[in-house]
Structure 1
């Protein structure tokens, strides 16, 4: 028997989302008082039960769909009503609409029976206002007693409350109730809704329309079209702002645990979406600059110039002993990634005035690279949770067992991750380019920094077997596990072309790429498990980052192979790719195996669809330099994408089956260059 609570499973739940509100139910539409099911707003569960019954019985489910952002449909049967024959004659259609701060349901009872009937329809509700971290730990809270006010039910938790109304139903303390009589061929629709008031939430819905274009995509591979369509819906549903900063839109990291601002996740998602416009990147950059570290605080991980990790209304406390403060800075990679996003957005055409406004934050972030980011002065970025209550690992693989040697032994901190050195190299060169272009000092310092970092990396990280180690441990020993992290080095400039080729060949080994995407750890390593969070599973965004690096570096065959793996996985998950899935061989079941606690939808997983499209069309603008490189790098058949954005202008790209690209709509003054 387990003597501790387990994190609830998610893989078979239906998510209906329009941030910062989300509903998680069973495939039958029922929200039961168990696990992570519920209606959530920001970081609290405002309804812990929403169950529909007819005559005291639950309808029998036969299908569901999530056709658009914030919308879900569920179809079920009430076979005890109507005609007594094989074909069902009473159908129940349940339409759920989630909007920011609200959820509404329409329940339609439709009869094709030859006789009339009468039934009682009830919706039973409960609220516990459990914090998301309590739910994540497998816990809950005592259901609250509702207040009644006329036709309303109301539950309070401090100054937050949820109110339920029904225009035509009888109110009971358990929820709305209707008496329904239907003649043959009749139907009746019942309606109720819940509205949330939460003045202390730290995130809110943006007021305006989405910040990016929605391109039209045609492809030989229909899976790519379906994946992009679903992903664009999901990305729109994850738009958020920080309360009090309505003009700074970013993407919440994921449902249900991470529907808030996450430095690394929000940056990567915005970076992948640059081909659709720079406005989302600008909002993400600005909101993170507003929260940029200004002082040294070991309790929160804050340091001058550092970009934060995550934002909550209160401390995030788990049973494991983890205790993260409301604004937490425990991340080693968000700062160089912020610099890279600013640089890339500038290249894609972010207006110069908006770039200039962010240059003080850029200079502070660069300062962190050489100062607090390198606490022991060895020339590498490393992390250490000095307080013992934060994240033990602070790269994107942030679980406690993520950094292992090839024999499976865990590395001891401080840890210097391989990919983070690549990010730092890229950030230094990006920062130098921006400083020089805007007439600010320091460009040569950061170019020199990058050169010295590349030399140190070459000397210390490469191991027997011909690939870079995952990390250096506290004793500066190479942590020699073979992992996907090394794929993030592609395109950062820290590798020579020959070294990039060696990494590409290493990642092509079936031990790494034999699943539905790229494994986080080689199947030949001692720490490998296909259902390990970071040591053998396959992460959508991780694979997409590597696809992008391979495509730009000219390793198209492997890029296409990995992309095909994600497209095959997308079929398994109804084209809503989860945070991660199992790293099993493709031959095991012929379809991807879920990782049962994976978030879905998740921002950087959804944005990965755009990263695959971008790798296939190969459009790389340099608006300040007056040129555009066109180099399709992931051969996925013929592809046409209409409605990309370069410097705000709509751009169309078509790639034929031979890999030849044509580009139309580029702003004047940009010259097209080939490979």
Structure 2
């Protein structure tokens, strides 16, 4: 990696910043945009320093000292015979809607001198969806940006109709007002200037604070700061799995954000990941919470409350909202506000609703306290109603989705275009019934029947749910099983044809319990064959098939959370050796990443590489990857 490619990412309290090797922000876009981000918008898009008119270089590149603080050492260009006149020590931190910087400039000269520092600053307020490299462009009629000089810095304002965002920059000491200039070419950026007097071998300090003021809800730190690490009660030991668990719990803390719960209370839930998903995601938050249940059951309670609060109430084709449906993702940015993208509350997920029911029962089963299950009874019944009606169980016999051209083509966890495909690589056409969603639906019906019996005291309802679960399982074993492959189909397409690619989704069927014992054990062992298992993890698609690509998002890469679900399924069916193999590969992969598992890794074979090959666009930290080591620990203990 070159210095130009080097990036540092800091995160704390629903705010994150991405910086270059020299601590700079240049306004990049694409797969790794830099800047200060809060509530789906970039509040700082340029932050570029010069000393005596030249850009300093990184003598020590920016390095994260903690999860929210980085430091680097800069100097102007010099030579052996003409060494740099100054050294700049730069420390940068991020918090709830804030970015702070401390610059200490040290003179290397034997005589007093005045150093000139210039800092070019801009805030473009770009929506995250504008920054993605997907060739989409969005009009912003009536949008206006303004910059105002203050006694100690600048204030950037952005307005569009009823939308208003702002970013302020406060400086100690204040910049020279006479020397503060607009950029060339003209724009909203401004260059702040200081002339700092330095004694012989002396130094001066400059303190800068940037505050993001996003539209809507202000960003605040929790009343009690969350720890960077969990205490020893969470996980015991010093082995690599324990270190991965500790790193995972710390990452969950970093990704925790405040949202509104079902009764209007504030709850704190794990956002999906950085840089693109620092928000509530139904599927991600549900599986993350499930993995954490034995260690942090309160996370599941918070997630269930947040998802009940956003549960669908009406039919809206644009967002996919339907009564009883659990939300896929929520967004707070400008484009969602003006409905230029459907993601303000987007419901395009076929699996979040059954997973909501699975987690509700699992939480009750773990804590043996019926209060939450009783409180959310109405929401649970609405979720069941959705599965039976709009979800498709009555009409199609399965949970189905129709590809959404304005949102997600695929609405299961493999939600990239082309991910649900035949062996020849052809994308399935809808209505599509993906295999793992049927397993989730089966499990949801069985578990909700138990709640109906034990908590809601409604035996007739429990009986109807068990009967529906039994019929679903019987249909599934007939329609999805591929006798020649000895393996379940990835999906059924709209014509009822088996989508015959061999995919990791089959492992989720072990976790949900929809397969009989013989088929489950056969599938579990098949997933550990070399075409599936890379040595690091089980691939999303078995190698050797036409659509396989080790660097694709869902057609040959390997996802830690996918493997965690599979490991729990292997343990459920007594395949302890296989569960240990999966856990061992993932723990070894985590050790190569500072014990932090990324969202996804490439599908290359372990024997061919010294370490796991990174997937180039992976989120890190990412919530369900962070929780994966805890799920692995649970699977190993069950085995």
The TM-score, its normalising length taken from structure 1, stands at 0.82
**Aligned residue among 59, 66, 74 for 2:57:** 59
Judge conservation of contact 2:98–2:212 (CA < 8 Å) in 1.
yes
> How far apart in 1 are the matches of 2:206 and 2:244?
34
**Aligned residue among 216, 230, 253 for 1:200:** 216
Partner of 2:43: 46
> How far apart in 2 are the matches of 1:123 and 1:515?
48
Deviation for aligned residue 1:315: 7.6
> How far apart in 2 are the matches of 1:94 and 1:111?
15
Deviation for aligned residue 1:178: 3.7
Gaps of 5+ in 1: 1-9, 619-630, 634-675
Would the alpha carbon gap of residues 108 and 274 (structure 1) be closer, same or farther in structure 2, given more than 3 Å must change?
Answer: farther
Deviation for aligned residue 1:197: 1.6
Is residue 2:436 matched to residue 1:419?
yes
Is residue 2:39 matched to residue 1:20?
no
Partner of 2:184: none
Is residue 2:73 matched to residue 1:76?
yes
Partner of 1:569: 589
Judge conservation of contact 1:252–1:262 (CA < 8 Å) in 2.
yes
Structure of greater relative contact order (alpha carbons < 8 Å, 6+ residues apart): 1
Would the alpha carbon gap of residues 201 and 580 (structure 1) be closer, same or farther in structure 2, given more than 3 Å must change?
Answer: farther
> How far apart in 2 are the matches of 1:277 and 1:198?
31
Secondary structure (helix, strand or coil) at the match of 1:249 reads strand
Secondary structure (helix, strand or coil) at the match of 1:283 reads helix
Describe the superposition over 1:387-441 as per-residue Cα deviations: whole angstroms up to 9, x where unpaired: 6322111001111111111122221111111111111111111101111111134
Partner of 1:656: none
Gaps of 5+ in 2: 182-189
Describe the superposition over 1:471-505 as per-residue Cα deviations: whole angstroms up to 9, x where unpaired: 11111111111111111112312122222211111
Partner of 1:224: 241
> How far apart in 2 are the matches of 1:467 and 1:66?
46
Secondary structure (helix, strand or coil) at the match of 1:587 reads helix
Is residue 2:462 matched to residue 1:461?
no
Describe the superposition over 1:239-294 as per-residue Cα deviations: whole angstroms up to 9, x where unpaired: 12236845222111111211111111111111111122222211111111111112
Range with bigger deviation, 402-411 or 582-591: 582-591
Deviation for aligned residue 1:309: 0.9
Judge conservation of contact 1:90–1:109 (CA < 8 Å) in 2.
yes
> How far apart in 1 are the matches of 2:237 and 2:225?
27
Deviation for aligned residue 1:114: 7.4
Secondary structure (helix, strand or coil) at the match of 2:608 reads coil
- Compare the two structures and name the one with the higher strand fraction: 1
> How far apart in 1 are the matches of 2:588 and 2:86?
37
**Aligned residue among 341, 347, 357 for 1:339:** 357
Partner of 1:151: 152
Describe the superposition over 1:594-629 as per-residue Cα deviations: whole angstroms up to 9, x where unpaired: 22222222111112132223333x2xxxxxxxxxxx
Would the alpha carbon gap of residues 558 and 322 (structure 1) be closer, same or farther in structure 2, given more than 3 Å must change?
Answer: farther
> How far apart in 2 are the matches of 1:498 and 1:180?
77
Deviation for aligned residue 1:380: 1.0
Partner of 1:451: 470
Partner of 2:186: none
> How far apart in 2 are the matches of 1:523 and 1:203?
45
Judge conservation of contact 1:48–1:126 (CA < 8 Å) in 2.
yes
Would the alpha carbon gap of residues 315 and 94 (structure 1) be closer, same or farther in structure 2, given more than 3 Å must change?
Answer: closer
> How far apart in 2 are the matches of 1:375 and 1:434?
21
Describe the superposition over 1:57-116 as per-residue Cα deviations: whole angstroms up to 9, x where unpaired: 2222434433434x2323234164798599x99654322211111111122345788777
**Aligned residue among 545, 567, 570 for 1:525:** 545
What is the root-mean-square deviation in Å for CA atoms of aligned residues?
A: 3.0
Range with bigger deviation, 346-355 or 330-339: 346-355
> How far apart in 1 are the matches of 2:401 and 2:219?
28
**Aligned residue among 93, 114, 125 for 2:121:** 125
Partner of 1:659: none
Partner of 1:164: 169
Judge conservation of contact 1:20–1:100 (CA < 8 Å) in 2.
yes
Partner of 1:252: 271
Judge conservation of contact 1:81–1:90 (CA < 8 Å) in 2.
no
Would the alpha carbon gap of residues 315 and 49 (structure 1) be closer, same or farther in structure 2, given more than 3 Å must change?
Answer: closer
Secondary structure (helix, strand or coil) at the match of 2:546 reads coil
Judge conservation of contact 1:207–1:246 (CA < 8 Å) in 2.
no
Secondary structure (helix, strand or coil) at the match of 1:580 reads coil
Is residue 2:309 matched to residue 1:290?
yes
The TM-score, its normalising length taken from structure 2, stands at 0.87
Is residue 2:482 matched to residue 1:484?
no
